Amino acid sequence: MEFYDFFQNFRMKENKEKIRAVSMKSSINESDLKVLQDKVDHLSLVCQAMCELLEQVGFDKTMLAKKIQEIDLRDGKLDGKFSQKKTCPQCERVVAARHIRCLFCGTETP
């Protein structure tokens, strides 16, 4: 019976440490989420202000929607995401954003 108690105590202590670690990670994630939400809220405010300014100078929402679609299609996909293309300064070929060097000529990309 003593061995069983020792084993159970060991497992309980191990689980408490895991719970503590998960709790800390959860707190960090909540903090990161708060920062991200603040950034999204600020971006929403900026977008609203820009839309209102555009309407004041004669642009309407349909013109804005067309421009959004045009920019979205620049990477070949209508997916609601903006992915900026990177071109090689040497050979002027399109280079994936994750690459540091051009795969064609080896030149370092900005």
pLDDT band at 43 (very low <50, low <70, confident <90, very high): very high
Whether 85 is covered by a domain: the verdict is: no
pTM of the model: 0.52
Whether 102 is covered by a domain: the verdict is: no
Whether 16 is covered by a domain: the verdict is: yes
Partners of 95 in the β-ladder? 86
Burial label for 95, CB within 10 Å (0-12, 13-18, 19+), is buried
Domain that holds residue 23: 2-59
Q: What is the pLDDT of residues 13-27, one digit of tens each?
A: 888 888 888 888 888
Q: Rounded to an integer, what distance in angstroms lies between the CA atom of residue 56 and that of residue 50?
A: 10
